[in-house]
Amino acid sequence: MTKKIKVILQARTSSKRLRGKVLLPICGQELVVLCYQRIKNIKFDTIVAIPKGKEDNYLAKVLKKNNIKFFRGEKENVLSRFQKITSRMNPEDIIVRVTGDNPVVDSFFIKKLILEFTKGKFNYLSSHDNVVSSPFGLQAEVFKAKYLREKLPINKYNLEHVTPVIRERYKSKKKIKIKNLKNLSNLRISIDDINDYERVKDIFQASFNNSKENYLSLINNYKRLKKN
């Protein structure tokens, strides 16, 4: 039986350090839209998981306007959103978790991780843990649907971050090398504050704001620009 692959993009408006960051413009579109457009692929079932409530109504409107499939769930329980979205998946089906503040991640990167996940017989794979020289923010997690159904300790951290217990139980020491992804451990490409936002804008500008540029080209074009 062919395993289904569901990519879940987690987003919200109420970020504490940079409020509304998923709606900030990069490449002429809202960050959450950019993230979705970069990760979508006909081989993946891709959906955005956002909170219910007035605070995220505009975010829902943006997603609807851009014909992006989304699911709204409990604000303080992101884990339950993932569980409900994946409730009809088979236990061995594959889930990819990504977040709306890491726009360098794209479908090429996700396909590479899924290939390594399958080939290496991982139970859980995180690019931050398992990819050599991965910059902070080139992050996606891959795991099996059944692990969302295990009994998990209920606390605020686990409910918000979804995978801490899965990571603790199933993290592997195996390392993956990606060609041309070297000496990047100190590069930060996630957006948590205004300085991060300006840096990520610079990364896309180094590729002439081509929102479809693959992740390796984006990073390497930026590196070359910084050297000059």
- Tell me: the pLDDT tens digits for 35-75? 999 999 988 999 999 999 999 999 999 999 999 999 999 99
87 φ, ψ (degrees, to nearest 5) = -60, -25
Residue 21: which CATH number?
Answer: 3.90.550.10
Residue with tokens 């692959």: 5
- Residue 179: predicted pLDDT: 87
- What burial letters (b/e) apply to 133-144, b meaning 16+ CB within 10 Å? ebbbbbbbbbbb
Domain region containing 60:
5-227
Lowest mean pLDDT of 65-69, 181-185, 211-215, name the range. Answer: 181-185
Structural domains of the chain, count: 1
- Tell me: the pLDDT tens digits for 102-156? 999 999 999 999 999 999 999 999 999 999 999 999 999 999 999 999 988 888 8
**Where on the phi/psi map is residue 16: left (φ > 0), alpha (ψ -120 to 50), or beta?**
alpha
Report yes or no: 167 and 122 within 8 Å, Cβ to Cβ: no
